Amino acid sequence: MSAMPLGDVLGVMVSDPGAIAALIALGTLLLRAAGLVLSGQQSRQRDLFSKAYGAAMAWSELLYRVRRRANTEEAEFALTARFHDLQEQIDYYEGWTASEGAAIGRSYCLFVKAIKEASECLIQEAWTIPGRPPGQAAPAGELHPDLHPARERFLADVRHQVSLWLVPRLLVVCRNRKPKKTQPSGGRP
């Protein structure tokens, strides 16, 4: 096999097909990076994902708002309105994250689901007891949802989604595949 000149730009002769493939991959990556930087896509995605993250985490904060609510009808109405407003924001971000890719959209939905599941019982319990003043200390043994694993999973997916490399983006797709539909037992395939 004869050496393949890569031109005067690199000033080298390359005869190894693997090296040629690596140079082509590197060139493609550089073009993609330049395109993303010029288009602002990466910055736009980071902004979207950070706002979506904030809306999801705000849901967990509602537990503390319920626990420290004023014991008035107006305060409870305002708090209920906050739940509705926040749910609208979450619905909005579920749609927009999915527009960036089905896998990252599913990742966000899983993140929201984990937050709601971890805090649902605690929020329901908090509504059954009177609110306490903001300055009053929390009772000993008061439970708090553990959101760390869900947060870390979603943030890892976001880091991979905005990566310039293809492999991390593929990890998001693999980790957030759509679940297969199962056939009901006894039915025809």
CA-CA distance, 98 to 172, in Å (whole number)?
A: 13
Residue owning tokens 């979450």: 90
| Class of residue 157 by CB neighbours under 10 A (exposed 0-12, middle 13-18, buried 19+) | buried
Q: 110-146, pLDDT tens digit by residue?
A: 999 999 999 999 999 999 999 998 788 888 999 999 9
Please answer whether residues 105 and 113 qualify as being in contact, where contact means their C-beta atoms are separated by less than 8 angstroms.
no
User: pTM score, two decimals?
Assistant: 0.74
Q: Which two tokens stand for residue 12?
A: 């080298």
Which of the pair, 82 or 37, is modelled with greater confidence? Answer: 82
Q: Which two tokens stand for residue 73?
A: 């009808």
Evaluate if residue 187 carries a pLDDT over 60.
no
Exposure string over 21-49, b if 16+ CB within 10 A, otherwise e = eeeeeeeeeeeeeeebeeeeebeebeebb
CA-CA distance, 73 to 55, in Å (whole number)?
A: 25
Residue owning tokens 């626990």: 67
Residues 6+ apart with CB under 8 A from 178: 102, 106
CA-CA distance, 58 to 90, in Å (whole number)?
A: 10
User: What's the whole-number mean pLDDT along residues 142-158?
Assistant: 96
Using alpha carbons, list the distances in angstroms from residue 113 to 37, 91, 106, 168. Answer: 33, 12, 10, 23
85 is a domain residue: yes
Nearest to 159 by CA among 27, 41, 29, 42: 42
182 is a domain residue: no
Please give the pLDDT value at position 14: 61
78 is a domain residue: yes
7 is a domain residue: no
**Number of compact structural domains in the chain:** 1
Please give the pLDDT value at position 45: 93
- 8 pLDDT band (50/70/90 cuts)? very low
User: What's the whole-number mean pLDDT along residues 106-113?
Assistant: 98
- Domain of residue 74 covers 45-131+146-176
29 is a domain residue: no
30 is a domain residue: no
Please give the pLDDT value at position 189: 47
126 is a domain residue: yes
CA-CA distance, 135 to 76, in Å (whole number)?
A: 19
